[in-house]
């Protein structure tokens, strides 16, 4: 495998300003998962009972049997929990996004009517609330299509958002391939939305959460009291809000389930959190689709020529001159395991530097000797590479006095005669005086010391060049 698909860098150290409406310092988004009536059950054609996300400690599916207690717990979510949450959020005029399992929505017409009357977004949570990890790709594709069809029939309009939850390695790709979904939330990898290239199209991803989530009432380590949940949400909010005040605004998702947070003792923690955020200015509490629409308008996808996806010829043509006149370094870098982390300047540089660092001393000496003298004869003859020309000009080496040029010529000659390669320094890090001072200081060093230093400077020059290229 020489192409690694996972994205371990994201926005990196400089995440974008989301430009939330009204200058909000944070977007707090509430998701209510509606799964009741879509869970594993013999009545639904499944091979056993549900064993996930309930108040039964250590619950396991019962094969070929109905589980009366499990079914009753899920029924509580639809019968009581949903309405308690509906009163809470509508009473505070905070809209939510429903992750609605299509078959569960079909079995809850009155709840769907209430969701629509409150102007809540109803996103798709798949056809059934079941595990997809071992589902054949063709079967999952068919279930996605049926989920969209049934959702549209029950709700009156198709879903614009998607979250499967118990997904497979194929889920995000299959949903994106429909071309019908504005955003997908089957990731937990960032504090901001982002665009992902899937199947040749730009797909908006709005990451979800499994930690600011009441599901931890049903597992370990988890919440015991409503206060545990509320305190965690407050801590998360305070951290993100402070970052927003400092200019690094982001998004906080809160995951809820009717049968869990809808219980009286648990919902108290959610109320505590709502009271807390109400005391702060500049807090945006949108639906998920509102975030999607805002992001598409404020941060549309940008065309990107990704180094990790380039053919060898394109990669070498693009980066073969980063290490002066040494395309073999780019050829070796292309053969490494590259991925999204290498689509940025730091990533390409690391790949190129790995080849340079592991080359023989003779090969590295060839790279050093490929570099021109500073303010030397090649510069005067205008025979430098475009990169070297720009770098030397930026340090003022294209406008030397006669005395300065004579001094550079003297130093170049003495340095090369002693060490066997030209003096190399990342001129962008220095002014003219600083370069001359380094020249005077380093010329007396032992050749091995200078060889090592020159190699470090070559890497630094390459890093600076890549900043301009990517």
Question: Burial code of 253-272, b = ≥16 C-beta within 10 A, e = fewer?
Answer: bbbbbbbbbbbeebbebbeb
The SS3 of residue 124 is strand
Q: Report how far residue 31's alpha carbon sits from residue 354's, in angstroms, rounded to the nearest whole number.
A: 45
- Please report, for residues 42, 44, 219, 346, the alpha-carbon distance to residue 39 in angstroms, rounded to integers and kept in the order given: 10, 8, 18, 46
The owner of tokens 């590259």 is 338
- DSSP bridge partners of 283: 26
Give the whole-angstrom CA distance, residue 200 versus residue 301: 13
- Would you call 224 helix, strand, or coil by DSSP? coil
Alpha helices of 420-446 — where are they, by DSSP H? Answer: 432-442
SS3 39: strand
DSSP 8-class letter at 372: P
- Rounded distance, CA 300 to CA 296, Å? 5
Which two three-digit tokens encode residue 422?
């030209």
For residue 370, the tally of other CB atoms under 10 A from its CB is 16
Is residue 358 packed enough to be buried (19+ CB in 10 Å), middle (13-18) or exposed (0-12)?
exposed
Annotated active-site residue 325? The verdict is no
- What count of other Cβ atoms lies within 10 Å of the Cβ of residue 447? 12
**Structural tokens at position 52:** 């996930």
Residue 133: Cβ within 10 Å count: 11
Beta-strand ranges (E) seen in 187-231 are 194-198, 201-205
Check 132, 257, 349, 371 and give the catalytic one.
Answer: 371
Contact 163, 186 (CB under 8 A): yes
Measure the CA–CA gap between 223 and 214, rounded to whole angstroms.
8
Report how far Cα 264 is from the mean position of its chain's Cα atoms. Answer: 36
Whether residue 233 contacts residue 241, with contact meaning beta carbons closer than 8 Å, is answered with: no
Q: Are 311 and 53 in contact (CB under 8 A)?
A: no
Q: 211 and 221 in contact (C-beta within 8 Å)? A: no
Cα–Cα distance measured from residue 272 to residue 254, given in angstroms and rounded to the nearest whole number: 14
Which residues are designated catalytic?
371
């Amino acid at each position: 495998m020489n192409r690694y698909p996972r994205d371990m860098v994201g926005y990196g150290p400089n995440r974008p300003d989301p430009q939330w409406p009204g200058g909000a310092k944070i977007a707090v988004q509430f998701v209510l998962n509606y799964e009741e009536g879509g869970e594993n059950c013999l009545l639904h054609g499944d091979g056993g009972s549900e064993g996930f996300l309930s108040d039964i400690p250590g619950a396991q599916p019962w094969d070929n049997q109905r589980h009366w207690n499990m079914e009753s717990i899920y029924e509580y979510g639809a019968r009581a929990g949903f309405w308690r949450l509906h009163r809470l959020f509508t009473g505070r005029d905070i809209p939510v996004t429903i992750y609605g399992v299509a078959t569960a929505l079909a079995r809850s017409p009155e709840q769907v009517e209430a969701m629509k009357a409150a102007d809540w977004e109803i996103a798709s949570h798949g056809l059934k609330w079941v595990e997809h990890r071992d589902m054949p790709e063709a079967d999952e594709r068919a279930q996605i299509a049926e989920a969209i069809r049934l959702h549209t029939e029950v709700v009156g309009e198709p879903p614009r958002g998607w979250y499967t939850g118990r997904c497979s390695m194929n889920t995000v790709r299959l949903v994106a391939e429909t071309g019908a979904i504005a955003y997908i939330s089957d990731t937990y990898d960032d504090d901001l939305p982002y665009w992902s290239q899937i199947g040749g199209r730009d797909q908006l991803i709005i990451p979800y959460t499994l930690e600011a989530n009441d599901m931890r009432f049903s597992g370990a380590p988890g919440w015991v009291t409503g206060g545990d949940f509320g305190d965690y949400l407050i801590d998360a909010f305070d951290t993100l809000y402070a970052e927003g005040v400092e200019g690094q605004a982001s998004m906080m998702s809160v995951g809820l389930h009717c049968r869990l947070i809808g219980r009286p003792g648990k919902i108290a923690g959610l109320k505590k959190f709502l009271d807390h955020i109400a005391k702060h200015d500049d807090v945006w509490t949108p639906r998920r689709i509102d975030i999607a629409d805002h992001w598409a308008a404020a941060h549309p996808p940008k065309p990107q020529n990704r180094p990790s996806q380039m053919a060898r010829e394109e990669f070498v043509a693009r980066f073969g001159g980063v290490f002066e006149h040494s395309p073999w370094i780019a050829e070796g870098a292309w053969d490494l395991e590259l991925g999204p982390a290498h689509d940025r300047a730091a990533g390409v540089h690391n790949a190129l530097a790995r080849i340079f660092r592991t080359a023989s001393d003779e090969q590295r000496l060839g790279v050093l000797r490929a570099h021109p003298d500073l303010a030397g004869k090649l510069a005067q003859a205008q025979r430098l590479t475009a990169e070297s020309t720009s770098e030397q000009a930026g340090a003022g080496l294209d406008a030397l006095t006669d005395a300065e040029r004579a001094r550079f010529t003297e130093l170049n000659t003495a340095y090369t005669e002693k060490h066997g390669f030209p003096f190399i320094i990342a001129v962008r890090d220095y002014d003219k005086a600083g370069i001359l001072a380094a020249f005077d200081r380093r010329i007396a060093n032992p050749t091995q010391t200078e060889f090592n230093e020159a190699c470090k400077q070559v890497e630094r020059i390459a890093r600076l060049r890549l900043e301009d290229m990517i």
